[in-house]
């Protein structure tokens, strides 16, 4: 899969010059997922050291160009850095040539990109496809939960969240998620708190209601009004 490594190196060279993606007022960003969350690159990425994470992901690709989990995770670093077009090209490569697990992660991340741009129907299609690859994995369910909530179905969102939690016994999958915007983490935390009957949910919904994304703020207001 030398083309994947070549593509990654080309984007590494031009990614810094690419304009950072603007926030979309009608966007509803969700979350991102790593294909190899336990690795050193994933730890660096979640700590915010994107340059170090990229170096590790590129090194993994150089050693094994067929290991497209590293390409997915490199794409996530581009998403976090605001370079959506570069990320999308890498994710498309993973969907085209990766293993089922790698494809599933890439589809979740493509759903994130489309949701952040306001294309919620397209995002749902990507997430539904991701879920169908392996219904036992919780990552697509977490993403579908926050998307479903953003689309106005709070009860459906809570059902999806509880389903994700059942498949994420120790909470490891949720702990390994990456969040592009602070509002994404707040949204998932608010849903989880509400599902658990935690009074802290109200404060999290208030925080989301004051955020930058109108769609997410409207979802938060619906939860606050229902209490």
Is residue 58 over pLDDT 80?
yes
Report the pLDDT value the prediction gives residue 17, as an integer from 0 to 100. Answer: 44
- Compute the average pLDDT of residues 129-144: 98
**What are 113's two structure tokens?**
């990109």
Helices 182-195 and 154-166 sit at what angle, rounded to 10 degrees?
Answer: 90
Provide the pLDDT confidence category of residue 2 given band limits of 50, 70 and 90.
very low
Distance of CA 10 to the CA centre of its chain: 24
Which residues lie below 8 Å from residue 142, measured CB to CB, with a gap of 6+?
Answer: 31, 161, 164, 168, 173, 174, 177, 188
Report the pLDDT value the prediction gives residue 38, as an integer from 0 to 100. Answer: 87
Helices 120-133 and 100-116 sit at what angle, rounded to 10 degrees?
Answer: 170
Tell me: the pLDDT tens digits for 179-195? 999 999 999 999 999 99
* Prediction pTM value: 0.91
- Compute the average pLDDT of residues 54-60: 93
In the chain, the domains with their CATH numbers are: 1-13+35-98 (1.25.40), 114-227 (1.25.40)
**What are 219's two structure tokens?**
């979802």
Q: What angle do CA 77, 79, 83 make, to 5 degrees?
A: 105
DSSP state of 32: B
């Amino acid at each position: 899969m030398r083309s994947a490594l070549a593509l990654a190196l080309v984007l590494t060279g031009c990614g810094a010059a690419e304009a950072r993606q603007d926030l979309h007022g009608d966007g509803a960003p969700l979350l991102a997922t790593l294909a190899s969350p336990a690795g050193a690159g994933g730890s660096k990425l979640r700590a915010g050291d994107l340059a170090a994470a990229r170096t590790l992901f590129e090194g993994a690709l150089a050693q094994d160009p067929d290991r497209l989990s590293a390409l997915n995770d490199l794409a996530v670093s581009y998403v976090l850095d605001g370079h959506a077009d570069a990320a999308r090209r890498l994710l498309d490569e993973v969907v085209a040539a990766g293993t089922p697990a790698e494809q599933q992660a890439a589809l979740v991340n493509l759903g994130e990109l489309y949701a952040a741009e306001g294309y919620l129907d397209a995002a749902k299609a990507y997430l539904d496809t991701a879920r169908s690859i392996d219904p036992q994995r919780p990552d697509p369910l977490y993403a579908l939960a926050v998307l479903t909530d953003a689309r106005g179905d709070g009860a459906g969102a809570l059902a999806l969240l509880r389903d994700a939690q059942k498949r994420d016994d120790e909470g490891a999958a949720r702990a390994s998620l990456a969040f592009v915007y602070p509002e994404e983490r707040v949204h998932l935390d608010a849903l989880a708190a509400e599902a658990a009957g935690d009074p802290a949910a109200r404060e999290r919904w208030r925080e989301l209601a004051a955020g930058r994304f109108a769609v997410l703020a409207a979802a938060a207001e619906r939860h606050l009004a229902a209490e």
